Copies of this chain bind each other. A is one copy, B any other.
Amino acid sequence: MKTYSLGEMKDKHIGPIGSSERDEYEYELRMEVLGKMIKTTRRERNLTQEELGKLVGVQKAQISKLESSTNSATIDTILKVFSAMKAEINFNVRLEDNFVKL
C-alpha cells in the first residue's frame, strides 16, 4: 500500500525544508503539487493520460491540464480523478500558532 504525503512531494519536486526555493514557494506551489500528485499516482498505476482520461470520462488534454495545474481545479474534479485511479486522497489541517485575532 503506497502513500505519498504533500511533504514528500514537496521535498521531491521543490526542495527540502529550509531551502530558499521551498520557503519562497511554500504557498503558491500547493496547487502545483496537487497536479504532480495526480501524475505520480497515474504513473504508479501505469496509465497514460489517455487511459486515465478514458477512466475518468474526459479527453487526455484534460488530464494534461490537471497535471500541469494549468488552472485551479475544482475539488469535484480532483476527487473524480483519484477515484478513477482507486486512490484515496485525504486532507488534514494543522493550525499554526502564529495567529492573532485583531
Residues of A within 8 A of B (CB): 1-7, 27, 30-31, 33-34, 37, 40-41, 44-47, 51, 72-79, 82-83, 85-99, 101
Contacts and interface: CB of A to CB of B under 8 A. Distances in A.
A13 B32 CA distance: 30
A60 B48 CA distance: 43
18 contacts: A1-B94, A2-B95, A5-B91, A5-B92, A6-B91, A27-B83, A34-B91, A51-B101, A72-B76, A72-B77, A73-B74, A85-B99, A87-B95, A87-B96, A88-B93, A89-B93, A90-B93, A91-B91
A94 B101 contact: no
A41 B93 contact: yes
A95 B1 contact: yes
Contact of A92 (B6, B93, B94): B6
Nearest to A72: B76
Contacts of A33: 91
Given A46-B101, A85-B99, A99-B45, A31 B76 contact: yes
